[in-house]
């Protein structure tokens, strides 16, 4: 999908346009080959930066192509994906390309909350630096929003685990732990990109832009602190439940061992009295009853002894 927006310099009203002209914001979402070639042809730029932005393995970074005077910003943005009927929190790259002083292009693999959250009426397309910083800020806010949701899911899963230690809940905790790892890596990479931008050597920053960038950096740092706290809590919770599972297993094994020991008593007595030799009570009509009573008494004694040793608790 390809959409272009242009702001009228007289009225500062931003509208969608079909015409390529200086000052445009070009938004590309999962673009086709024809769209990529058309944009590169119209703007006289190479395809590399657009294709980098569509590579899901790309990490947050800044790249400069002096041949066609383009600057590439790649940042990681958070998103929610459906995987086997469950929500998974992951990150994906989004590219912001400055084409000389003429155009700004945003490129992403799929529709995302960051670009959609930008209100068109608040965008001035010819203020390219401001648009970049607005994306920075919206991205940091989105990370914070999803971190709150992750924390709620952690608390909900913990409550379910208190009632029953099922694999479903434990696997959910593992998924959330993995998501927090993705978020940590992405937030720190984004922080490096924003810190480099503050120096003003890559793109020109105006006085009003510096406040927006500072707010974005503060929000990003807050997200980094939050993800660290949630990761520590989740790791502690996982360790606790691992200990609980281990203790429960030990308790079950202890009980099974004790029961096996008790059941071995009548088995041993029956084996001895089953030998083809002369034994006590062998010829007595009450022999079976006597042996049974002896077995029961010995089992009761063994049970009492094991309880005192806390083997059957």
Last residue of a domain, one of 217, 246, 275: 246
Instruction: Specify whether 114 is located in the same domain as 51.
Output: yes
Per residue in 200-217, pLDDT tens?
Answer: 777 877 777 888 889 999
CATH number at residue 92: 3.30.460.20
Alpha-helical regions (H) of the chain: 33-43, 48-53, 113-117, 128-163, 167-198, 207-273, 287-308
| C-alpha distances out from residue 302 to 40, 254, 255, 266, 267, Å | 86, 15, 13, 11, 14
Per-chain mean pLDDT for the chain: 84
Whether the model pTM is above 0.75: yes
Last residue of a domain, which of 230, 246, 262?
246
2-16, pLDDT tens digit by residue? 888 888 777 777 887
36 and 165, same domain (yes or no): yes
Same domain, yes or no: 182 and 256: no
Same domain for 62 and 144, yes or no, is: yes
6 and 45 fall within a common domain: yes
Q: Does 84 map to a domain?
A: yes
* 190 and 282 fall within a common domain: no
Residue 313 lies in a domain: no
Distance in angstroms (rounded) separating the CA atoms of residues 285 and 266? 20
Sign of torsion, CA 303 165 183 90? positive
Distance of CA 26 to the CA centre of its chain: 30
188 with 287, same domain: the answer is no
Answer yes or no: is 74 within a domain. yes
3-state secondary structure of 56: coil
Confidence of residue 166 (pLDDT cuts 50, 70, 90): low
Number of domains observed in the structure of the chain: 2
- For residues 152 and 284, membership in a common domain is answered with no
Q: Each residue of 47-91: pLDDT tens digit? A: 888 888 888 888 899 888 887 788 999 999 999 888 777 888 899
Report CA-CA distances (Å) from 7 to 20, 78, 101, 121, 228: 13, 28, 15, 9, 41
Q: In this structure, what CATH number is given to the domain that contains residue 304?
A: 1.20.58
Residue 215 domain flag: yes
Distance between alpha carbon 298 and the CA centroid of its chain, in Å? 57
Indicate if 234 and 197 belong to the same structural domain.
yes
**165 confidence band (pLDDT: 50, 70, 90):** low
The confidence score (pLDDT) of residue 6 equals 81
For residues 63 and 128, state if they share a domain. Answer: yes
Tell whether 161 and 257 lie within a shared domain: no
107 within 8 A of 32, measured Cβ to Cβ = no
Structural domain span for residue 162:
2-246
Q: Is there a single domain that holds both residue 110 and residue 258?
A: no
- 246, 269, 292 - which closes a domain: 246
């Amino acid at each position: 999908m390809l959409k272009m927006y242009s702001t009228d310099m007289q009225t500062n009203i931003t509208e969608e346009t079909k015409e390529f002209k200086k000052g445009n914001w070009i938004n590309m979402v999962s673009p086709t080959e024809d769209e990529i070639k058309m944009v590169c042809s119209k703007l006289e730029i190479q395809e590399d930066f657009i294709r980098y932005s569509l590579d899901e393995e790309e990490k947050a970074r800044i790249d400069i192509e002096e041949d066609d005077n383009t600057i590439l910003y790649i940042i990681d943005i958070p998103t929610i994906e459906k995987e086997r009927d469950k929500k998974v929190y992951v990150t994906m790259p989004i590219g912001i390309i400055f084409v000389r002083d003429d155009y700004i292009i945003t490129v992403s693999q799929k529709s995302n909350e960051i670009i959609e959250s930008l209100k068109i009426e608040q965008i001035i397309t010819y203020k390219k630096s401001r648009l970049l910083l607005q994306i920075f800020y919206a991205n940091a806010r989105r990370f914070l929003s999803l971190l709150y949701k992750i924390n709620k899911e952690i608390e909900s899963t913990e409550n379910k685990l208190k009632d029953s230690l099922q694999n479903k809940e434990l696997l959910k905790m593992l998924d959330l732990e993995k998501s927090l790892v993705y978020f940590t890596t992405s937030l720190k990479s984004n922080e490096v990109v924003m810190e480099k931008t503050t120096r003003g050597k890559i793109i020109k920053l105006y006085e009003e832009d510096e406040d927006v960038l500072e707010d974005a950096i503060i929000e990003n740092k807050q997200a980094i602190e939050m993800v660290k706290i949630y990761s520590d809590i989740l790791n502690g919770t996982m360790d606790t439940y691992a200990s609980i599972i281990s203790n429960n297993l030990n308790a079950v094994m202890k009980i099974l061992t004790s029961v096996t020991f008790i059941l071995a008593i009548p088995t041993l007595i029956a084996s001895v009295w089953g030998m083809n030799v002369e034994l006590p009570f062998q010829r007595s009509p009450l022999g079976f009853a006597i042996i049974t009573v002896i077995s029961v008494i010995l089992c009761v004694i063994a049970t009492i002894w094991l309880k005192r040793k806390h083997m059957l608790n």
